[in-house]
Structures are given as structure tokens and as C-alpha cells.
Structure 1
Amino acid sequence: MGESDAAGRGGHRHEAPEPGAEGADPRRPGVPAAPHGFPSGTPAEQPTASPADSGSPSGAPAGTAPGTPAGATDHASGRSPSGGSAVARPIVADHRTTRRAVFAAALGNATEWYDFGVYSYLAVVIGAVFYPAASPAVQLIATFTTFAAAFLVRPLGGLFFGPLGDRIGRKRVLAITMITMAVGTFAIGLIPSYGAIGITAPVLLLAARLVQGFSTGGEYGGATTFIAEYAPDRRRGFFASWLEFGTVSGYMAGALLVTVLTGVLDTADLHSWGWRIPFLLALPLGAVGLYLRLRLEETPVFTAAESFGEAGAHAGPAGERGSHRLRETVVGQWRPMLLCVGLVLVFNVNNYMTTSYMPTYLSAVLGYSPTHGLLMALAAMAAMLLTVALVGRLSDRVGRRPVLMSGSVCTVVLALPAFWLLQRDTYAGVLAGMLLLALTLVHFSGAAPAALPAFFPTRVRYGALAIAFNVSVALFGGTTPLVAEALVDATGNPYAPAAQLMLAGVIGIVAVSLMAESANRPLPGARATVSARDTDGAGPAGRGRPSG
């Protein structure tokens, strides 16, 4: 069975070493030993084939990296190039290096999502500055239409950055997306108002938002892939959840700054110059994020694949490689991509409803001040920050599917109670409703970053995930505030957004029921990754007794 077929079913391709080879279980001939720290027979013992299983593009024996001297051992693959016993040795992840990679990726992600979130928190002000002739309701719809337009180009960003990241590396592409987002956000802060330059103002705003959207098309899929390929198999959920910690931190930083500005500035100053401050800060923040990302090393999983030509970095003209990789990604991975779209749909409808639309809903629909609306959103996000890593760790213990299924069911069951509480006309009721929405969202924030990269094999992981993720976000996630506001405006029913959430929850239940469990298993197309803390460093693979 081909690698893409195996991945399409959510499974892994297995290859047992020869009896008697290093890594074989002497009690079960032909069955590889579990990575150290896993009991034999657990799902985590299932090693995937080395990226070189299909042979070396240079004509060397299978498992030989190009340029490997005869008789030498390729430690990246754990194989003997002389054609001897094949050993799929696990990658030993240094804990300190993994933490640095996770921190840099999450902090860069926080910077990106600060940039993207600020726009939604200033939606009311932006509507007045760039669409002054319209009624308040039309201003909001126009503002969220521009917000949604950025999401419509995200699939183009995914199509461009994703396959590029599978060819030249995750690190390089993440640096490009970082600076592109910072420049696009900074540009918004420089645009004159409608009163100064007329219709040109909203046109320039739209152009800057399109730059933001194109950049973001390569951000989340790349950052998720980066962390997943660094993390040990047994702790991938915990480490990957810190990406969402960064996302929520970025949203919180934007919301907090906007809250301070709306609290200390009068309306005239806020509309004249105050709203520009969060956007202008994007450039120095982007410079910090770029510095951190440039200091990162490429992921060990991608490096191992690249050494065998699996990453496609050394074969054929660039244009031919790119078109071939894109065809392979879309045609060979369409089944897992569909599941990815469904899971991302329920995740992002929850996400943008809670973090982006709720402050506007509370102020424009329920009549709270913008400051109070932002404070309630901040409280919900603070609750998520305190729990997201715990949910990630839980997904390592019980599996991704139970956590994601619980989140999908909660989306259906808790949507109406949450919106009922929001309309109790008390701060306690609003806070309780926001916490219910946050409770639902944190299921996905904690488990999805580890589950999504496991849909796809290494050679097309970044591209397939970026395309599927951004198609789903463009069609269903980024349009969430626009659809919710339009539903409320058309029906006059403040419960209309709850129905939107419930429909997303049903789709999530279907998607999760069809996906395979990926917790405690190697990523498809990659060797097992174990933590150096689980070994005493005995041997190249780090086998030995547990380290306490």
C-alpha cells in the first residue's frame, strides 16, 4: 500500500526489521521492539517506515542518503547503506531543543494572531472610520466583509506556502509569513480615513487585509507542522497545545491593548488616531518574531526526509517539482484533507465566534459598552490559557478522538445555554455564557494542533494541511462573524448565532467519528520520536533503561 493510501485511512505503514536485527523483539520474531518507554504491544510501538523505504534517488541502496560513503552508517536513518539489516531507529528529541522550538513557534504565532485579531476588536471603530456614510449595522457588515475577504485569499496562501514548505523547509517559510503579516498589519495603521481620501481608503484597507490573509495561509499549518515534527510521540498533544496558547495570547494582547485605548481615549481621539496604535506596533513585534524564527533549526523529521530526497529539494527543475508536489498533495491526500476540513470547520467556527465576534455581539447586539464586551472576551481567553495545555496533555493520555468528540458534542449541547446566559442582562450571566463558549473551544485548542498534522505523511504534510486548513477557514471560519451578524440583522433573533454553532458541532461529530486515533503514534511517513528524558542515551537510538 502506498504511503498516501495509508495516510488517507489515518493509519501508518509498518516495516518490521529482520529477525535478529537490532530493534527486533526477540520474543516476537519479525516484530520491531517498541521505542523505549513504551510497553510492547501498545499503539506507540508501531514504527513507520523510514522515509527512504522507496530507495535513494541517487541510485544508492535503499536507505542510503545521497553522498553517504560505502560502509558508513547513516545515523539519520538508522540504516546500514551496505544493504544490511534495516533498523528504523527512533529520533531522540532533546528536551531543551524541543522547548526552544515550541517557544519560538508559539511566540511567533502569537505575534501573527495579535496582528490578525486587532482588526476584529476594532471592528466598530474601523466601520466608522472607513464606512462613515452607512448605518451602524451596515458599517459592521461592511467591516466584517473586509474581515472575511482576507480569509478568501488564505487558500491561495496555503497553496503557495504549503508546498513550498515541503520543498525548502518549514523554518524558511515561517520566517517569510512572519514578516509579510507584520508589513500588512503595519500598512493598515498608515491608511488615511474615508474623510481624507474617500473611497480609496476602504480599497487600501481591503488590499492590506488581503496581504494579511495571504500570509496567514502559510502560518498555522506551518507552525503546527513545525511543533508536531519536533515533539516526542508520547507528548505531542502537550507540546502542540502551546501553539494555541500562543494564538490565544496574541488575541489577548490585542484585546487588552484595544480595551486600554477605548478606556483612556475619548471617542474623537480613538477615531482620529488611537485606533492606529495597535496596527503600527505590528512592525516591531514582527521583527522580534522573525528573529526568533530565524534562530530555529529545521525539524528533525523534515531533515531526515530531506537527506533521502523525500522532501523533494534535490530532484528536477523547481517548477516541475512544485507542480508535481501540488498534484501529489491534492490527488493523493483528498480523503484525509476532507476530514481535516470538517475538523477545522467546527474548531474555527467556535474560535471566531468566541474570540472575534463576541465582543461585537455584546456591544452592538446586547448593548454593553465596547470596553465591557472586550473584558468579557478577555476573561474567556484567560480561562483558555489556564487550561489549554492541560487539555493537550489529556489528549496524550486518553487520545485525540475522545477529546475532540467531547468538544463537538459540547458545541451542540451548550450553544443555546451559553447564548441564554449572555442575555440575562447581568455581568455574571455574560461571564458564565462566555466561559461556556470557552470550555467548548478549549477542547479543540488543546487537541487539534496535534491531531491535524497526523492526517498527512511528511513529504506533503505542510502543503496538505495548509490547503485543507485554509479552505475550511475561508469558507466557514473567517465568515463566522459575517454570517452571525447577518443572521442577527436579518432575523432580529439574538439566538441565531447559536444555531450556527450547533450546525458546526454536528459536522464535527461526523468528522471525528471518521478519523483514526493518532495519539502516542509516530507521524505518518516518519520514524518514532522519543524524548531523551525517557532514555539514558545508550546507543545511537538512545535505548536503555528509563531515566527515572
Structure 2
Amino acid sequence: MSTRTISTNQSTTPATSVKPTELTVDDITVIDSKLLKRAVGAAALGNAMEWFDFGVYSYLAVIIGKVFFPDASATAQLIASFGTFAAAFLVRPIGGMVFGPLGDRFGRQKILALTMIMMSVGTFCIGLIPDYSSIGIMAPVLLLIARLVQGFSTGGEYGGAATFIAEYSTDKRRGFMGSFLEFGTLGGYLLGATLVTVMMATIPSQAMLDWGWRVPFFLAAPLGLFGLYIRLKLEETPAFKEHMDKQEALEHSKPRLNMWQMLVKYKKQMLKCIGLVLIFNVSNYMLTSYMPSYLTGVLGLSELTGLLLVMVVMFVMMPLTLMWGHWTDRIGRRPVIGLGAVGLIVLAVPCFMLIGSGNMWAVFAGLVVLGFLHTCFSGTMPATLPALFVTDIRYSALAIGFNLSVSLFGGTTPLVTAWLVDTTHNVMMPAYYMMGAGVIGLLTVLTLRETARKPLSGSSPAVASRAEAHRLIDKLRRQHGRKQQQNTPQTV
């Protein structure tokens, strides 16, 4: 078998717009399974790289606060550390506006290789920055610059990776294949968190403060080079190739939409994207970025205990994410996302009451329930979000919508919740924050159309083999025949 993805559709219109009676195998995209696995692995690895940095930064937030903001109080250090973390999210929409259109014009694979390089460089440079005692105010300034580079590159990462996997996948298994993107997220985060936890358990506190915190950031270089090598070996997605063939056939007669035109034309889809990403990322950053510091700084658990609890929950979430990805291909995306949204509304407060009880088993139970609810989103979003948009603007629209929502609501979650708890002295504020996200998510889900087991908008049906393509054609013709019979007037 060839290791090439076969895109057999050479027409200028998607197969979905061809009459079933005229449909042939040449109108169906047949996906090579080997290339699909490589594409999924390469996309997931980039996301793992991004979240390796998040895991490291979140677990080192207290130490980073001491290194770069030594004159502040412990609470102010934590808020300043998370403030620098959140600052990177302010430039993510700008990164999306730059990399998204480039990905739609020049291809997903090339831009994903570029974002990998920038992300690795930004992370590596954090480890090189001298501390405050050496260069004064320039230390936090350089930290901020490195975080801005990371944020800018990440602006093109998730939208591109989700688009890449969605366009490579078959219609029947898009949910399951997409869930590996978030499997990579959890794996990268867990790797970073595990590394920091082992170092904190084995290296003296002063040594961690002096030099140990730098080591995880230095690992970004070899990880980034490995990810870049894999991404450069990939071919472009079948859907993008098909789109470029159409553009050439039309001799570019259809002008490309500019940014404003795209936002106006697809404003409903963009709002849906923002609503879905809001609930997805509020629950995500609450668990992964804020929870370790909440357990330690607010509830008074030891650092090691707090870190280990969150790590175990992340480990439990990995297979659950794949499970939901598999089931969304069977029962649909909307029921699973709706379940997670309702769960947050109803269970956020009980979960935080359990976490605040101080009993280790109760704390763990509360975290596991929140983790389970989050996997309803992590297992579905990589397939749901790309399906909102057509092929020619998918990367751009998803990159902009995703990063705008993450910047306003997701990445600011640790900073806002830390400030709310400190201001109100109410340790339940994170639960109320998650409930609000659940309400917005549920309202958004009610406006969605189901996309499971259906072709992406503007693309041909995608199947795993030519035999499956023949079966699909037969099925469509039978359905067409039944419709014709129903619409034919009956004569007596």
C-alpha cells in the first residue's frame, strides 16, 4: 500500500453537492491510515510541547514569583507570576490573525512547523533569563517578552493542529482522532508537572530557587527539534489539497475574503466558537493552571501533596478523553458537551466543598469529578470546532475565534480567580466562575447542529477505503431513491 493520502476528487465542487445518482468513487476522499496516524501524532506532539510549558510554569509559579518578584508578598508574588502567565494570552489573537490566514493560503503543515520553532525558542529562553538580584527590573521584563513570544506562536498552534487532524480524519472517526490532540495536551502537561514534582522532591529548596527551576525550560529545545522533524515529514491535508485544486480550476476567480469580511460573514459561527472555547478553557485552566496553587496557597496543603493530587487526576483524564472522542462518533458531539455543561452548573459548588474539606479522599473525589466533566469538552472540541467553518477559512476563523476566547476567558482564569479569592476572601469563587462558564456553554450547545459522522463543510466525504466509498455511494443512492418515491405523487 502507498503511504500517500489519496484524494481522488478532482472536481471543482464538493461531493456533497453532486447528485447521488451521479456520484462516483472519484468524488470521495480516501484516507491512507498510515499517514493519518502520523498526522495525528505530529499534531498532538506540538500541543504536548505547548502544555509541557504550561505544566512546568504552573507548578513552578510560586518559585517563579520568588525569583522574579522577590520584594512582593507571597500573595502578590503568585498574582504577579500568574499575571505574566496571562499576559501571553493577550497576544494570542494577534498570532491567530497572522498564522491563521497564512495557514489558509500556504498550507497547514508549513505554518505548524513555524509555530513549533517559535514556541520552542520562547520556552528555552525563559531558562536563560537571569534572576531579579542579578539584573533588577529587566528580569521580569525579559520573562514577559519570552512569554509574549510563546503566546504569539501558540496563536497559530491549536487552531492549526485541530484543523490538521480534522481534515486528515475520516468522517466516521473524526471525534476519536481529534481527541488525541487533547490526549497530547494532558500528556505534555503531565510530563512537565511530573518533572517539576520529582525535582522538588529530590532537590533542596534553595537549589531549586537558584538553578533547578531552569532545567525544565531547557528541555524545550530537544523536544522542539524532534517535533519539528516530524512535522516537516508530513504531507498537506487532503481537504486543503482539494481546496487548492478548486482554486486553480477556477483560476482564482473567487476573491479571498479579508479579515473583516470573514468576521462579518461567519459571525454566528465565530460566536459559537467563542462560547464553546470559553467553557472548554475555563475548566481547563482552572484544573491545570490554578488548582495546584489553590490547593497550596488557599487551602494550606503541602506543595508536594497538591502537585501529586492534580497529577493523578490528569492521568485519569487521559483515557477518559479518548473514551469521549470515541463515543461522540457514535452518539454525537452535542449530547457530550451538554452533559459537561450541565455537570459544571450542578456540581461545581459540591466539588469545591469536597476539595475544601481537607480530607484527602474528599479532595481527590472533587478533583476527579471536575476532571471527568472537563473530558466531556477535551474529547469533543478538536472535532467540533473545525466543523464550524468551511475549508478556505477554517484555519483563520478557528485560530482567531479560539484565541480570542482563550485570551479573554481561559488564560485569565488563574489570575481572575486568584484575585477574586484574595479580594472577597470567599474560597468558593472558583466554583461560581465555573458555573457561569457552564451556563454560557450550555446556551451555545443549544445553537449547534450535529456534525458527527458528516463531511466537513466545503469538503468531500472522507472514508478509510475504496470499499467504504462504494458502500457510501450505495447508501446515498438508496436514500435518494426513497426521497424520490416520497416526493412522487401517488395515482389511483
**TM-score, scaled to structure 2:** 0.90
Cα deviation, residue 379, structure 1: 0.9
Look up the equivalent residue of 2:380 and give its one-letter code: A
2:438 is equivalent to residue 505 of structure 1: yes
Select the residue among 414, 418, 423 that pairs with 1:490.
423
Select the residue among 302, 326, 347 that pairs with 2:280.
347
Q: 1:13 to 1:478 in 2, by over 3 A?
A: farther
Contact kept, 8 Å, 2:162 with 2:383, in 1: the verdict is yes
2:154 is equivalent to residue 216 of structure 1: yes
Look up the equivalent residue of 1:449 and give its one-letter code: P
- What CA distance in whole angstroms lies between the structure 2 residues aligned with 1:99 and 1:245? 14
Contact kept, 8 Å, 1:535 with 1:542, in 2: the verdict is no
- SS of 2:77's equivalent? helix
- SS of 2:446's equivalent? helix
- What CA distance in whole angstroms lies between the structure 1 residues aligned with 2:407 and 2:467? 44
Q: Which 10-residue stretch deviates more, 262-271 or 470-479?
A: 262-271
Q: 1:536 to 1:363 in 2, by over 3 A?
A: closer
- What CA distance in whole angstroms lies between the structure 1 residues aligned with 2:463 and 2:72? 58
- What CA distance in whole angstroms lies between the structure 1 residues aligned with 2:255 and 2:149? 26
Partner of 2:357: 424
2:136 is equivalent to residue 198 of structure 1: yes
- SS of 1:141's equivalent? helix
Look up the equivalent residue of 1:467 and give its one-letter code: I
- SS of 1:375's equivalent? helix
Partner of 2:106: 168
Look up the equivalent residue of 1:327 and give its one-letter code: W
- What CA distance in whole angstroms lies between the structure 2 residues aligned with 1:14 and 1:242? 27
2:396 is equivalent to residue 394 of structure 1: no
Cα deviation, residue 310, structure 1: 7.3
Contact kept, 8 Å, 2:277 with 2:402, in 1: the verdict is yes
Alpha-carbon deviations, 1:58-111, whole Å to 9, x = none?
Answer: xxxxxxxxxxxxxxxxxxxx4xxxxxxxxxx11011222211111121122211
Select the residue among 293, 296, 306 that pairs with 2:231.
293
1:407-422 counterparts in 2 under 5 A?
407-422=340-355
Cα deviation, residue 321, structure 1: 7.8
- SS of 2:301's equivalent? coil
Partner of 2:402: 469
Compute the RMSD of aligned alpha carbons.
2.2
| Structure number having the greater helix percentage | 2
Contact kept, 8 Å, 1:302 with 1:311, in 2: the verdict is no
Partner of 2:382: 449
- What CA distance in whole angstroms lies between the structure 2 residues aligned with 1:221 and 1:155? 11
Cα deviation, residue 16, structure 1: 3.8
Partner of 1:257: 195
2:317 is equivalent to residue 384 of structure 1: yes
Partner of 2:180: 242
Look up the equivalent residue of 2:360 and give its one-letter code: Y
Partner of 2:479: none
Select the residue among 293, 318, 326 that pairs with 1:360.
293
Alpha-carbon deviations, 1:486-518, whole Å to 9, x = none?
Answer: 011011111111000000000001000011111
Partner of 1:60: none
Alpha-carbon deviations, 1:1-57, whole Å to 9, x = none?
Answer: xxxxxxxxxxx99524285x344xxxxxxxxxxx9xxxxxxxxxxxxxxxxxxxxxx
Cα deviation, residue 328, structure 1: 3.7
Contact kept, 8 Å, 1:535 with 1:543, in 2: the verdict is no
Select the residue among 203, 208, 214 that pairs with 1:276.
214
2:306 is equivalent to residue 373 of structure 1: yes
Look up the equivalent residue of 2:19 and give its one-letter code: P
Contact kept, 8 Å, 2:54 with 2:289, in 1: the verdict is no
- What CA distance in whole angstroms lies between the structure 1 residues aligned with 2:410 and 2:308? 23
- What CA distance in whole angstroms lies between the structure 2 residues aligned with 1:325 and 1:135? 48
Alpha-carbon deviations, 1:442-467, whole Å to 9, x = none?
Answer: 00000111000000000000000000
Alpha-carbon deviations, 1:255-304, whole Å to 9, x = none?
Answer: 00110111111111011000000111111110011011111110001011
Partner of 1:15: 17
Partner of 2:46: 108
Unaligned segments of structure 2, at least 5 residues: 1-13, 476-492
> How many percent identity over aligned positions?
53
Contact kept, 8 Å, 1:131 with 1:194, in 2: the verdict is yes
Q: 1:422 to 1:246 in 2, by over 3 A?
A: same
- What CA distance in whole angstroms lies between the structure 2 residues aligned with 1:190 and 1:371? 26
- What CA distance in whole angstroms lies between the structure 2 residues aligned with 1:117 and 1:218? 20
- What CA distance in whole angstroms lies between the structure 1 residues aligned with 2:308 and 2:199? 13
Cα deviation, residue 207, structure 1: 0.3
- What CA distance in whole angstroms lies between the structure 2 residues aligned with 1:281 and 1:238? 30
- SS of 2:247's equivalent? coil
Alpha-carbon deviations, 1:354-390, whole Å to 9, x = none?
Answer: 1111011111111112211111111111111121111
Look up the equivalent residue of 1:507 and give its one-letter code: I
Partner of 1:535: 467
- What CA distance in whole angstroms lies between the structure 1 residues aligned with 2:230 and 2:252? 30
- What CA distance in whole angstroms lies between the structure 1 residues aligned with 2:216 and 2:255? 40
Cα deviation, residue 329, structure 1: 2.3
Q: 1:22 to 1:472 in 2, by over 3 A?
A: closer
- What CA distance in whole angstroms lies between the structure 2 residues aligned with 1:396 and 1:166? 27
Alpha-carbon deviations, 1:189-234, whole Å to 9, x = none?
Answer: 0000011110000000000000000011000000000000000001
Cα deviation, residue 535, structure 1: 2.0
**TM-score, scaled to structure 1:** 0.81
2:117 is equivalent to residue 179 of structure 1: yes
Q: 1:310 to 1:189 in 2, by over 3 A?
A: farther
- SS of 1:234's equivalent? helix
- What CA distance in whole angstroms lies between the structure 1 residues aligned with 2:333 and 2:248? 28
- SS of 2:457's equivalent? coil
- What CA distance in whole angstroms lies between the structure 2 residues aligned with 1:181 and 1:458? 26
Contact kept, 8 Å, 1:422 with 1:431, in 2: the verdict is yes
Look up the equivalent residue of 1:535 and give its one-letter code: A
